[in-house]
Amino acid sequence: MSVLVDAETRVLVQGITGHQGTVHTVQMQKFGTQVVAGATPGKGGTTVEGVPVFDSVAEAVQKTRANATCIFVPAPYAKDAFFEAADAGIKLAVIVTEHIPFHDMLAMYHYGQLRGARIIGPNCPGIASPGKAKVGIIPNVVFHPGRVGVISRSGTLTYEIVSGIKDVGLGQSTCMGLGGDPVVGTSFVDALPYFEKDPETDILVLVGEIGGTAEEEAAEYLRHNFTKPVIAYIAGRSAPPGKRMGHAGAIIARGRGTAQSKREALESAGAQVANFPYEIPTLVKERLAAGPAR
């Protein structure tokens, strides 16, 4: 078992004929993912890296039984791309595209809820389960199969931490990059139940950042509903109030969303919070050696 993606996942790439779509299709294939179709209007009947391209998502799903999509469509067209996928019955959409307008993402979020389609992203690196499948852009080389789950709002920190976990001789069950926009399709609270139920995950790494209340909400969920040990890190400790740090959602406003408030909430819920990203792999290894109880 893994979280949301496995060896049976059949991936459609929307925007496969663009540079990023093509490059990451190759990398997903090298990871072992079944990339079964691409969709670009007007390019139907062609192929990209051996993957058949269709003019519409509906046709791609009908002919290839694709059940997940990775969206590389430019921001002005991303909403329509997701709507098309949801209407075709796709139940998992990883949206890599950044700069999607706020109101577009609001509409996408609610349409996904209506259609029963889980969105990961936008502006995210995707999801990967080593040895099974990857949907997104996380580098292949950082992974090794194992029993450490990772949920993160930060792309580059995800890569660093996952690589560090590999370097200390451990591996990952599933790694999920949520994205850092103000509105995302999957929050920590949405993702945590999957990892709680996953028998292949023994410990969870949670990587947050300043801005919003997602980490405080996650802490409340951890306190009452999560039984596995958690190692956490909050990026942005030195960020001044009102200054955006990298992500559109990473902004402190009116004293809310600070690194300190998030740290305190997570610690009070039983999580161990690292001071620096490089500490996480060692803390994970030590916590696993100590035993399964939180």
Active site residues: 247
Label residue 116 exposed, middle or buried (CB < 10 Å: 0-12, 13-18, 19+): exposed
Residue 290 in tokens:
């100590």
Contact 57, 117 (CB under 8 A): no
SS3 category, 203: strand
Residue 40 neighbours by CB under 8 Å, 6+ apart: 14, 15, 16, 17, 18, 53, 55
Q: How far apart (Å, rounded) are the C-alpha atoms in residues 78 and 195?
A: 28
- Pairing assessment for the beta strands 126-129 and 172-177 based on DSSP bridges: antiparallel
Residue in this structure with the two tokens 């040990």, named with its chain if needed? 229
Q: Which helix (H) or strand (E) holds 179?
A: none
DSSP state at residue 27: H
CA distances from 275 to 205, 211, 240 (A): 14, 18, 18
